[in-house]
Structure 1
Amino acid sequence: MFNVIMRRYDWNDPTGSIEVERMFEFTDSGLAARFMDNGVPALDRLRALPCLFIPEGTHNEVCRVGTVTSARITGNEVRFEYAVDPDVPPLQNAALFALKSQLDMDRHRHNFDWSRNHWAVKDVDLYRFLLRNVNPRRQRPTVFTIPEHQGIEPQLVSVMMPFDAGFGPVYAAIQQASAACNLVTRRADEIWEAPGIIQDVVSLIDRGRIVVCDLTGRNPNVFYEAGIAHTLGREVIIITQSEHDVPFDLRHLRHIRYLNNNEGLAGLAEALQARMQTVLGH
């Protein structure tokens, strides 16, 4: 069995609410009765079930799988907190809607059960459904390794730039901007944690809250590292001394252009600080 909680979600806010009167809508009456105590939803028993957190709609809306970690009735609302399962990738409503009968989410011919806030219970093994129907995970890399679960260090700025003395002042500007945001910077040449440098680089990228990539000079290593950072879903800030050094495939992304002189580096530090504050939500 699993819960369906349909409402609007902000995935950065792990809280929500549903009107009590909408509890057990689109749920078999016998199943709903199993989760009622003296006419009140048995929230502790409901919390033991996995949950599909899904916004209204049947198209490209993003939904997640996880659990309700706490719930209580306050007035005419059930207020709850939730956690998403990091092992299940984000899903799209359209993919689930195409298989709605397997989820027992096809109870109304006008699809009202996909367009109304509610909390339902379905007598379906959600994880078995996902194993059968959701694409398997991609093959894991062999050139380097990444941990099963990400471990982002919230104060870490990982810096990818050429290992060249001429970039020392640039790195100092990045450090200045980071310090102003209460962040710390690290480059791969400052650590030696693995026998191969590629593993240190990937580990540094994977742990970074923000990844700064300097594409100046079209350095192939930095291009490779920027690709890894984007693949891992990190917040990437691109900087360069020349917009022509930004590959065509990345030119649609905003980047910071700077001059490698005192005035230019001061401007770089200022622009980086503003961008970092935006990423951090300050």
Structure 2
Amino acid sequence: MFNVIMRHYDWNDPTASIEVGRVFEYTDPNLAAQFTEGGLPALDRLRAFPCLFIPEGIGNEICRVGTVTAARIANGEVRFEYALDPDVPPMTNSFLFAQKARLDMDRHRHDWDWSRNHWALKDVDLYRVLYRSVNPRRQRPSVFAIPEHEAIEPQLVSVMMPFDAAFAPVYATIQEASAACGLLPRRADEIWEAPGIIQDVVSLLDRARIVVCDLTGRNPNVFYEAGIAHTLGREVIIIAQNRQDVPFDLQHLRYIPYLNNNEGRAALSQALQGRMRTILGH
């Protein structure tokens, strides 16, 4: 079962209200009777079901799925608080209107139940309808595997940089900065968990709390890895010895410039520590 609460919403305000007399409009009478106690809606029981928060209309109005987290009756109104389900993207009324029969929202010939504030209860599995109606999931990568659920290691810093002896002092600087923040840096050449190196790289990126990418030298591997890290939604710190090494598509992002000498690496360490602490909320 699921609730439908049709009214205007300000998605930045998690509170709303509706007249008590409009609860169970466009609801099967037998179903309404099961959730009525003392002549009033049994709000605590209704809150157990997901809710479709939808404004009036059958056009491009935005509607959301979530739950009613609290509700009480006062001065002839049901005043409620709600939370949106982050795993269900916003939808339009027109999309849902096309599914109205499956949602049991087609009880009247003139679609009055799409043009009036009300709270209805439907004996339908909302998530099943949406699952069967939305576009199929994005195709998953075939070159490497990504687990279904994230398993971020809170102290892990993944470092993506050229495997070159000239960068050894730079990696030592990143290790120093990470340690100062209570973090553990790792490079892909330090692990061997999968038959192919790309899988180790992706796994390292996927588990990381922070990713440091050194774009110095315009290394194509590092560019590829930076793209994967951004796609995975990781916090990426870009460093480079030369601004010209930062590609056009990334120049709108802040990066840490540095010189590969003692003074430059000392400044890099301080800058990295500052950024890492900001990301960690310290």
Same fold? TM cut 0.5: yes
Equivalent positions of 1:78-117 (< 5 A) are 84-85=86-87, 90-93=88-91, 96-101=92-97, 102=99, 104=105, 107=113, 109=115
Does the residue aligned with 2:209 lie in a helix, a strand or coil? Answer: strand
Separation of aligned partners in 2, 1:24 and 1:266 = 67
Separation of aligned partners in 1, 2:211 and 2:53 = 30
Letter in 1 for 2:224: Y
- Would the aligned equivalents of 1:62 and 1:91 in 2 still touch at CA under 8 Å? no
1:275 deviation in Å?
2.2
Paired position in structure 1 for 2:166: 166
- Would the aligned equivalents of 2:63 and 2:93 in 1 still touch at CA under 8 Å? no
- Would the aligned equivalents of 1:150 and 1:206 in 2 still touch at CA under 8 Å? yes
1:79 deviation in Å?
6.0
Separation of aligned partners in 2, 1:187 and 1:240 = 17
Equivalent positions of 1:113-262 (< 5 A) are 121-262=121-262
- Is there any run of 5+ residues in structure 2 with no aligned partner, and where? none
CA 1:122–1:75: 2 relative to 1, 3 Å = closer
1:125 deviation in Å?
3.4
CA 1:99–1:200: 2 relative to 1, 3 Å = same
1:244 deviation in Å?
0.9
CA 1:200–1:61: 2 relative to 1, 3 Å = farther
1:245 deviation in Å?
0.9
Separation of aligned partners in 2, 1:55 and 1:179 = 51
- Would the aligned equivalents of 2:159 and 2:213 in 1 still touch at CA under 8 Å? yes
Query: TM-score, normalised on structure 2?
Result: 0.73
Separation of aligned partners in 2, 1:143 and 1:272 = 32
Letter in 2 for 1:199: Q
| Deviation larger for 98-107 or 192-201 | 98-107
CA 1:240–1:37: 2 relative to 1, 3 Å = farther
Letter in 2 for 1:190: E
CA 1:131–1:267: 2 relative to 1, 3 Å = same
CA 1:4–1:275: 2 relative to 1, 3 Å = farther
How many pairs were matched up? 261
Does the residue aligned with 1:192 lie in a helix, a strand or coil? Answer: coil
CA RMSD between the two structures: 3.8
- Would the aligned equivalents of 2:60 and 2:94 in 1 still touch at CA under 8 Å? no
1:176 deviation in Å?
3.0
CA 1:21–1:183: 2 relative to 1, 3 Å = farther
- Would the aligned equivalents of 1:27 and 1:120 in 2 still touch at CA under 8 Å? yes
1:258 deviation in Å?
1.4
Query: TM-score, normalised on structure 1?
Result: 0.73
- Is there any run of 5+ residues in structure 1 with no aligned partner, and where? 11-15
Separation of aligned partners in 2, 1:262 and 1:61 = 55
Larger radius of gyration: 2
Separation of aligned partners in 2, 1:119 and 1:274 = 50
Separation of aligned partners in 1, 2:244 and 2:209 = 27
| Deviation larger for 22-31 or 232-241 | 22-31
1:82 deviation in Å?
7.7
Separation of aligned partners in 2, 1:42 and 1:84 = 23
Separation of aligned partners in 1, 2:216 and 2:61 = 37
